[in-house]
Amino acid sequence: MLNRIMISELAFPAILVGGGLAFEQLMAPSRVLFGNISDSWPIRGRRRTPYIWLGATGFCLMAVCSIPLIFITEKALRQGEPLAIALCSIALCILFSLYGLAVSMATTPYLALVIDLTTEKERPRAVGVIWCMLTLGIIVGAIAISITTKGLDGVTDPSMLEPALQKFMLWVGVIVLSISIFACWGIEPKKRNLGVNLENSSQEIGLKKAWKIITSSRQIFIFFCFLILYTLGLFLQDPILESYGAEVFNLPISKTTLLNAFWGGGTLFGLLLGGLWVTPRLGKLSTARIGCWMIIVSLVLLVATGITADSQGLYGVLMIFGVAAGLATNSALSLMLDLTLPEMAGTFVGVWGLAQALSRAMGKVFGGGLLDIGRSLSGPQNPFIAFSFVFLLECIVMILAIYVLEKISVSQFKKDTAAKLETMIMAELDS
């Protein structure tokens, strides 16, 4: 919703919006730090829930603080003061960075808590439930935002938008923080003996070691590249989608927020369809390939609906896009588990998570930047061409992801990687 308001209602440069939001994802490496902190520094006998609550408090506070800063930046842009614009832009990037740090502080101990409370056999089902609930949360959130922001439809005056959005965000912050506290209350048992050999059990990695692992095997590097291209091809439209609905389809704020509900609904169906039926029958690589081609088709349809400006067609295409994303994500996650050595599971998950975080950050920056380039090429009177420019480039990125996918071999990974990693680790120990 804020993406759309900043780009369409407040006329922010799309590169500023995408770049600012990218700083949230660029904080992903801090998950290593917060993982180590939650392992090493229990608070009153608990290692996870206190940090989840601190993180939730932090990102709710940053969300509330974002509203006045956005409108201060809008005023600077409107008045055209270069110094004020630069300072406000830096402040926005810092705020989104702090938001990303808070999210990392909350989510890393949360995932560690899932591991603490489940057995190896239970974890795949737990991850499935978490993904489905995450998608369901997106749907419920989108519908709730659509209902509560109907009064903002057609409003472009900053003096009216700011107080309404500030009140809205205060309520959202209070509700989300309350849910976070309630959901985690009493779920983590208090442990008196927290002495663990962190030197032996810790599998967290830094960026230097991550790059060594990525380049230690051709198959690791190939899958790392696939994850970057796939995630970039999936999220390049993320910072501009609601603005597409606003500028090309003339949809009000309450209607563009529903775009995420249709996308989320399709993703939930695609995850279930892939996990229960398609992937077991066709295999992971074939399902990933089908999902990626479906994403390309849905992006082409996304452009086609803009020609007629049919909003019902837009909702339908986003449902297809969600199903495709769900299918491809299910198979990509399954491939990720196959391309992970059990004895270094934490390390590999960290590497794959790093690939996804980097590509999501690039998606936010490039999505906004490419839209600005499209606008400069097509002119302000034809927004459809500018948005189509981004969607068609997204298709090219996904085609590259399919090309890299064809090079992946699980059997070759297991054959090559174990020996090379063992040699690398032994060399590090000797040094």
Contact yes or no for 174/162 (Cβ under 8 A)? no
* Residue type present at position 392: L
Residue 182 tokens read as 């309630």
Q: For the chain, 431 residues long, give each residue's pLDDT as a single digit of tens.
A: 788 888 888 888 888 888 877 888 778 777 767 777 777 788 887 888 999 999 999 999 999 999 999 999 999 998 888 899 999 989 998 999 999 899 888 887 887 787 778 775 666 567 667 777 887 888 888 888 888 888 777 777 888 889 989 999 999 999 999 999 998 888 887 764 444 443 434 444 555 666 777 777 788 889 889 989 999 999 898 888 989 999 999 998 888 888 888 888 888 888 888 877 888 888 889 999 999 999 999 999 999 999 988 889 999 999 999 999 988 887 887 777 677 665 555 456 556 666 777 788 888 888 888 999 998 988 778 899 999 999 999 999 999 999 999 998 878 877 766 555 555 444 444 44
Contact yes or no for 354/30 (Cβ under 8 A)? no
The backbone torsions φ and ψ at residue 158, rounded to the nearest 5 degrees and listed phi first, read -55, -35
Question: From residue 320, how far is each of 158, 227, 266, 270 by CA, in Å?
Answer: 35, 21, 6, 9
Q: What integer pLDDT is reported at residue 203 of this predicted model? A: 45
Q: What integer pLDDT is reported at residue 298 of this predicted model? A: 96
Residue 26 tokens read as 């660029």
E strand or H helix at 282: helix 279-282
> Long-range contacts for 138-143 (Cβ within 8 Å, ≥24 apart)?
138/260, 138/261, 138/263, 138/264, 138/267, 139/260, 139/261, 139/264, 139/265, 139/268, 141/260, 142/257, 142/258, 142/259, 142/260, 142/261, 142/264, 143/258, 143/261
Q: How remote is the C-alpha of 25 from its chain's centroid?
A: 7
> Long-range contacts for 177-184 (Cβ within 8 Å, ≥24 apart)?
177/56, 177/57, 177/60, 180/52, 180/53, 180/56, 180/106, 181/53, 181/56, 184/49, 184/52, 184/53, 184/113
Tell me, yes or no, if the pTM score tops 0.75.
no
320 occurs within a structural domain: yes
Domain count, the chain: 1
216 occurs within a structural domain: yes
The backbone torsions φ and ψ at residue 260, rounded to the nearest 5 degrees and listed phi first, read -65, -30
Range of the domain at 300: 206-431
214 occurs within a structural domain: yes
Q: What integer pLDDT is reported at residue 229 of this predicted model? A: 94
340 occurs within a structural domain: yes
Contact yes or no for 96/103 (Cβ under 8 A)? no
77 occurs within a structural domain: no
Q: How far is residue 99's CA from residue 65's CA, in Å, rounded to a whole number?
A: 10
Q: What integer pLDDT is reported at residue 104 of this predicted model? A: 84
**Per residue in 258-271, pLDDT tens?**
888 888 888 888 88
385 occurs within a structural domain: yes
By the 10 Å C-beta count (0-12 exposed, 13-18 middle, 19+ buried), 204 is classed as middle
**Per residue in 338-386, pLDDT tens?**
776 655 554 565 566 667 777 888 888 888 889 999 989 887 788 999 9
86 Cβ neighbours under 8 A, 6+ residues apart:
none
46 occurs within a structural domain: no
Half-sphere exposure of 304 (CA within 13 A, CB side): 10
129 Cβ neighbours under 8 A, 6+ residues apart:
none
147 occurs within a structural domain: no
For residue 365, the domain's CATH number is 1.20.1250.20
Question: From residue 106, how far is each of 56, 100, 119, 201, 324 by CA, in Å?
Answer: 6, 10, 22, 21, 29
Q: How far is residue 228's CA from residue 46's CA, in Å, rounded to a whole number?
A: 35
